[in-house]
Structure 1
Amino acid sequence: MISSIRIILSLGSFLLLFISSTTAKTSFRPKALVLPVTKDISSSTPQYVTQIKQRTPLVTVNLTVDLGGGYVWVNCQHGYVSSTSKSVACGSAQCSLFGSSSCSGDKVKLCGGFPSNTVTGVSTSGDVRSDVVSVESTDGNSAGRAVTVPKFLFICGSDVVQKGLPKGVTGMAGFGRTKVSLPSQFSSAFSFSRKFAICLSSGTINSKGVIILGDAPYNFGYLNSDISKALNFTPLITNPVSTAPISSLGEPSYEYFIGVKSIVISDKEVPLNKSLLSINKNGVGGTKISTVNPYGILETSIYKAVSKAFVKAVGVKTVSPVSPFGTCFTQHEIGSTQMGPAVPDIKLVLQNGVVWDIIGANSMVQFSNIDVICLGFVDGGSKPKSSQVGFIPMTGDQPTTSITIGGLQLENNLIQVDLARSRLGFRSIFSDHSNCANFNFTSSV
């Protein structure tokens, strides 16, 4: 496995050229692509689901969005029929992109990978394949003509690894820092910017959020302006130790980490053990961004300090908590504003002095059937697994992450990942009196 990783590093730009020259064969070169995202609350924990079209003939494939996932995997066990699906040979350039040394087969050795369900923590093995994938282009205002990548790489999953995903969802789309993640393959295929933006809607059913791959303006509804010009930016940080369910020694994490230096509530800095905010040589500590964690997760001492400061700032009594939350109030005593529940902002002071304001809409969880409202962060324990998602601990000796910014905190925020500049941009469009469901998915062609 380690030697495969060295191969990836040494081949570098050749492999990017390989993807570009063998996958995208079209006279139309889009500058950006667009994917819809819906919030599914039918499973035990909310998940964000996107769609692509895959195979020949094309069929719609629903995938859970994993912002920190390294690749795309799809269940091939039942009903996967395609005339253009091809296995990837072991030892090939395509196989080395996965850092895989797993081979199967007798006469012809096939490339193997390890599809992981980061919602449940279950990992299996499966073959690496290529097949046709089609998505829509965009100019940032609306959806445009569809484009096709003939040899998009993915790993075959099974019923076992699919279990725990919403009904009709047959895999996961990884957006992490690898050469085989969904955004990396598209940017290589069409030679556009190595950046993408994600805007999660807080609504369900027909309320679509959006993912934009590449370089396009971000226009939402009546704002009629490019929100990318108003983003706040902070550097992306590399965790030197993998946080994936299955990894090799010396492999860095492909999840997205940022530097939180302090937390402020009602203009008062929350007293914390600052050493927990940094990532040490063993991969312990720090702050990551996650879409498979539906809510924020805080290391125990951080959670207790934030909860204490938050309760004091709110100024009303707490009530019996509703699992998995630990800090709850009577809803009618909190009230509401245009920015959501009337609670103080939780301010994350980042390493370059920029502040991420978590407003009431992104810090509180409301219940429709009871008069209770809860702080949308959970106590992850003294050693919360960095790959702990859906509050189901994963097995193995995983590094620990002190703060996880989850789906609730990301909703109606435009989050841009700029890999070329190694930075993360963010802005609440809810505070701009718009929301992530305002993108126009009606095709302009």
Structure 2
Amino acid sequence: MAASLHFLLLLLLVSSFLYNFKVSQSHPSHPKQKGAIFHVTKDVTTLQYVTQIRHGIPVRPTSLVLDLGGPLLWLGCASDSDSSSSRTLISRSSIKCLSANPNIHKSKTTKCESFTQNRVNQVATQGDLAEDIIFVDGSQTKSLPLPFLFSCAPKLLMNDLAAGARGMLGLGRTRVSAASQVAAALGSKPQFILCLSSSNGVVLHDSGQYGSYFVVPGVSDSLTYTPLITKVDSPHEYFLNLKSIRVNGKQLALNYKEGLGGIKLSTVVPYSTMESSVYAVFVRAYDQAALAMNMTRVASVAPFGLCFGTQVGSRLPVVDLALQSEMVKWRIHGRNSMVQVMDKVKCLGFLDGGPEQKSSIVLGGHQMEDTLLHFDLSASMLGISSSKFMDQSTCSDLGLGFGFRESM
């Protein structure tokens, strides 16, 4: 009798969570929550950024690789042994399927199939769109339950992910990305804060209410905003205009190929890559600036092409990426432009992306570390923190302050 009652209560709880997803757009599930947080660590072997969710019934902790431009959350979960009693598959004829797949292809199955890609190794396949409960850390509680749509993909897609990771958490510009779904559950406009670190980083979802992160003095006024641009062939990814590149204040003479000139932001690329013709000019300019600062060139260390012998605390050339104008720039200091590869040897953390790279620059994780980035999707703007602000704060501080608690 007790076991039956327990099962009935569990069933009612699950039904309530799944119903709340349907009304989350007009009636926020957690109106008193000012935000939610994903804690992010860096895997030292793959250099991928990893976060953790708890999901399903029974609740399981699951590690996921962070994918800034990924269209949705996907899990390697095709096996019955991985099944959750609260998971349901989405029908191909449902509104939820249409929101996840605006161009549904003809299929003989009644399940909603979604194109799913491991964007680390570029392997892709069809996954089944499913819904389950996930738990994230909230501003008022340790365990904030959210009904969530995701792709349940074959386990072969998990190849080349960081050890222990079972999928990817996509924050891209789609209706079913983690960024959009968390914002809908909080009843806020779609926005999030990304702050990567070589140790403890965060993804913060801030509602803009109840003591919002952005009303804290010194935070909002430390951000410089620039438009996010959309590319037809990759509408879910984040791109910025690129006006010019300067090294130690000297502007590079670049002749972009047709269609180039933009910057793509990526957390699955560990070090920034440049289209070959841009890379050649950039490396030559950086080498000249380094030699003018009495830095000593040393043998290259793969995969890097330009390395120097440096002392601790040595000054390094500064790279400025001018965005929509020369007045709006992303400044990359030495700690982000150079990589310590061995004692007293640092290498330029930009790689040759080849002549076929579609963007002039793919800005990778290393170059984004220790920089607070505010993605305001409703306004299609990106806020970039000043170096002064980040000199006084760390990514770990963001998870401790502003009403958020550390993960257990």
What CA distance in whole angstroms lies between the structure 1 residues aligned with 2:244 and 2:270? 23
**Are the equivalent residues in 1 in contact too, given 2:28–2:184 (CA < 8 A)?**
no
Question: Amino acid of the residue matched to residue 47 of structure 1?
Answer: Q
* Residues 1:193 and 1:229: Cα distance change in structure 2 (over 3 Å): farther
Q: Is 2:377 the partner of 1:419?
A: yes
In structure 2, how many angstroms separate the alpha carbons of the residues matched to 1:197 and 1:122? Answer: 28
Aligned-residue offset at 1:73: 0.2
Give the Cα separation in 2 of the matches to 1:235 and 1:20: 32
Partner of 1:147: 144
* Counterpart position of 2:7: none
Name the counterpart of 2:341.
367
Q: 2:307 aligns with which of 328, 332, 349?
A: 328
Q: Is the 8 A contact 1:102 1:113 kept in 2?
A: no
How far off its partner does 1:442 sit? 3.7
CA displacement at 1:110 relative to structure 2 = 0.4
What does residue range 34-433 of structure 1 map to in structure 2 within 5 Å?
34-43=37-46, 46-78=47-79, 79-99=81-101, 101-102=104-105, 109-138=110-139, 144-150=141-147, 152-203=148-199, 208-215=200-207, 217-218=212-213, 225-242=217-234, 253-274=235-256, 280=259, 285-315=261-291, 316-332=295-311, 335-336=312-313, 342-352=315-325, 353-368=327-342, 370-384=343-357, 400-427=358-385, 428=387, 431-433=390-392
Task: Provide the C-alpha distance between the structure 1 equivalents of 2:127 and 2:231, rounded to a whole number of angstroms.
Answer: 27
Counterpart amino acid of residue 418 in structure 1: D
Asked if 2 retains the 8 angstrom alpha-carbon contact of 1:292 and 1:406, the reply is yes
The amino acid that maps onto 1:96 is L
Deviation at 1:176, TM superposition (A): 0.6
- Please say if 1:32 is aligned against 2:35: yes
Distance 1:126 1:196 in 2: 26
CA contact (8 A) 2:54 2:136 kept: yes
SS in 2 for 1:401: coil
Deviation of the 1:212 alpha carbon: 0.5
Q: Could you tell me how far 1:307 is from its partner in structure 2? A: 0.9
CA change 1:230–1:290 in 2 (3 A) is same
AA aligned to 1:435 is T
CA distance in 2: counterparts of 1:96 and 1:273, whole angstroms? 42
Residues 285, 264 of structure 1: alpha-carbon distance in 2 compared, 3 angstrom cutoff = closer
SS at match of 1:237: coil
- 8 A contact 1:74–1:156 mirrored in 2: yes
Aligned 8 A contact 2:179 2:192 in 1: yes
Q: CA deviation at 1:137?
A: 1.5
State the one-letter code of the partner of 2:49. Y
Give me the TM-score of the superposition, normalised by structure 1.
0.78
Superposed CA offset, 1:215-238 (max 9, x none): 35449xxxx855233101101111
Any stretches of 5+ residues in structure 1 without a counterpart? 1-17, 243-252, 385-399
What is the SS of the residue equivalent to 1:33? strand
Distance 1:38 1:200 in 2: 8
Give the match for residue 397 of structure 1.
none
Tell me the SS of whatever aligns to 1:350.
Answer: strand
| Equivalent residue, structure 2, for 1:6 | none
Write the distance in 2 (CA, Å) between the matches of 1:432 and 1:303: 29
Question: Which residue of the partner structure matches residue 393 of structure 1?
Answer: none
Percent of residue pairs identical: 37
Distance 1:342 1:201 in 2: 21
Instruction: Give 3-state SS (helix, strand or coil) of 1:114's partner.
Output: strand
Contact 2:296 2:310 in 1 (8 A): no
- What letter is aligned with 2:346? I
Kindly state the Cα deviation for residue 190 of structure 1 after the two structures are TM-superposed.
Answer: 2.4
How large is the Cα RMSD of the aligned pairs? 2.5
Quick one: distance in 2 between partners of 1:131 and 1:314?
Answer: 53
SS of aligned partner of 1:124: strand
Give the drift of 1:28.
4.8
User: In the TM superposition, what whole-angstrom CA distance separates every residue of 1:37-78 from its partner, at most 9, and x where no partner exists?
Assistant: 0001223xx100111111012211111111001000001034
Higher alpha-carbon Rg: 2
Aligned twin of 2:4: none
Alignment-derived partner of residue 245 in structure 1: none
State the SS of the aligned residue for 1:351: strand
Q: 1:229 to 1:416 in 2, by over 3 A?
A: same
2:193 touches 2:203 (CA, 8 Å); kept in 1?
yes
Alignment-mate amino acid for residue 274 of structure 2? L
**C-alpha distance in 2 between matches for 1:297 and 1:376:** 9
Deviates more, 1:90-99 or 1:18-27: 18-27
